[in-house]
Amino acid sequence: MGKHKDRIVMITGASKGLGKALALEFARQGAHLAICARHEQELVKVKAEAEQNGVKVLAVSADVSVPRDVERFTAVAEDHFGRIDVLINNASTLGPSPIPNLLDYPEDDYAEVLRVNAVSPFLVTKRVLPGMLQRNYGSIINVTSEAGHTGYAGWGAYGISKFAVEGLTETWAEELSRTGVRINMVDPGEMNTEMHDLAVPDCDYELADPKEVVPVFLYLASEDALLINGIRFQAQEFREEELI
């Protein structure tokens, strides 16, 4: 068991890719999990694998861009565990693939991508935050992208939605600066995931395994990062020893 033993960690979009890697590593470190995703069958498999570490796992099929689903998921999690120590807003969608240029981008798809990627972290954080503030303790981690830091042609609504996530993180970090709750963001970089396959179908260069970018999330969720707030981390360049 690691430094996260008995911590309660909530992860959205935990059925595959980075979300799955995060869930399994936190479970290996002894954290109990509240996980959700829209794909119930895959989520149940993650739950079963995580439980092999002897931790408690609450898995709920939910679309966190829908307020009613957010309320159901968070209420059940808080009732089940009594608190949420760490929230990782990971759920996202790419939108149409191949990604069209903005001039050709379907309006409904544009709105859907922003709803899932930019509205959901607002909804979940807004619902979980009061409990964290009451305890004056908590770590919130938003997943961003290089395409949300620099505008790249061909990344469409996905990149724009991540710009919104970065602004959301910085604004909330300022609002929380005098509390015991911290909020940061992580750019995991390009990873070997289903979403990357859709975004860059003819990729001819090496990609990171999602497991390789987990350490920065473990750090931000730990006691070592109590004073870290409003910072953007690049996961593939992260070295915890450089911070000591």
pLDDT in tens, 75-87: 999 999 999 999 9
Is residue 90 a part of any domain in this protein?
Answer: yes
Would 123 be classed as within a structural domain?
yes
Query: Is 218 part of any domain?
Result: yes
Q: Does some domain include residue 228?
A: yes
Rounded to the nearest 5 percent, the helix, strand and coil shares of the chain are: 50, 15, 35
Beta strands per DSSP E along 90-211 = 138-143, 181-187
Q: Is residue 1 in a domain?
A: no
Whether residue 2 is contained in a domain is answered as no
Whether 68 maps to a domain, the answer reads yes
Catalytic residue list contains 110: no
Cα separation, 69 vs 13, whole angstroms: 13
Segment 37-63 mean pLDDT:
96
CATH of the domain at 49: 3.40.50.720
pLDDT at 197 over 90: no
E-assigned strand segments in the chain:
8-12, 32-37, 57-61, 86-89, 138-143, 181-187, 232-234
Residue 46 resides in a domain: yes
Output the pLDDT for position 201: 58
Q: Which of 105, 158, 205, 219 is catalytic?
A: 158
CA 117 from chain center: how many Å?
10
Q: What is the pLDDT of residues 131-187, one digit of tens each?
A: 999 999 999 999 998 878 888 888 899 999 999 999 999 999 999 999 999 999 999
**Residues in CB range of 98: below 8 A, 6 or more apart:** 198, 201
